């Protein structure tokens, strides 16, 4: 064992990185195929992609036609919450969620972001508003994230955030 030039942990990390790097291109194609299938069944389905300088997906957001319609009725108070890098790509996953008149959660949009910097969030929030083709929410409940607070203040200055 002492002659092996790496640890089990470093091998595991290397394999994980290799899998992520190889999966990137194929998974983007698979994702676009799934989006095309959904779009064929739901003409109001929409998605947005922001690429980085190497033409890799930096941010990816999507919403169904039903979600977009729900925003028109229940978009006055929404939440935006991200998980912290709990997926294969080590990217935060965020959900925009509203509450309908039956006090049920309604998923309005999903987003995979490369990071939670102010720059990324300043892409996320206007794209969300564009997808919803509506006015900004009156209130947004969010994580305790300074970058998110700054982005919301800049993009949706009339929106109260807590």
DSSP secondary structure string for all residues of 115-137: ---HHHHHHHHHHHHHHHTSPPP
Residue 86 has pLDDT above 70, yes or no: no
Q: Across residues 50-64, what is the average pLDDT?
A: 86
Residue 49 has pLDDT above 80, yes or no: yes
Give pLDDT tens digits for 11-46.
556 556 655 555 556 777 888 888 888 889 999 999
Residues 77 and 99: beta-carbon distance below 8 Å: yes
Average pLDDT, the chain: 83
Is the whole-model pTM more than 0.75?
A: yes
Residue 6 has pLDDT above 70, yes or no: no
Could you tell me the two tokens for 106? 């309604």
The structural architecture, per CATH, of the domain 43-161 is: 2-Layer Sandwich (3.30)
Could you tell me the two tokens for 57? 């997906």
């Amino acid at each position: 064992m002492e002659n092996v030039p790496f640890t089990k942990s470093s091998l595991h990390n290397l394999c994980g990185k290799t899998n992520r790097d190889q999966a990137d291109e194929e998974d983007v194609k698979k994702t676009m195929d799934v989006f095309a299938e959904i779009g064929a069944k739901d003409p109001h389905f929409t998605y947005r992609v922001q690429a980085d300088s190497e033409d890799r997906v930096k941010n990816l957001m999507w919403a169904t036609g039903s979600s977009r319609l729900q925003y028109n009725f229940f978009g006055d108070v929404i939440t935006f919450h991200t998980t912290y890098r709990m997926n294969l790509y080590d990217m935060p996953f965020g959900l925009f969620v509203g509450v309908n008149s039956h006090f049920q959660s309604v998923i309005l949009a999903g987003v995979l972001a490369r990071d939670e910097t102010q720059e990324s969030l300043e892409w996320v929030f206007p794209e969300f508003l564009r997808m919803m083709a509506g006015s900004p929410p009156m209130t947004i409940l969010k994580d305790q994230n300074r970058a998110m607070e700054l982005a919301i203040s800049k993009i949706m200055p009339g929106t109260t955030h807590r």
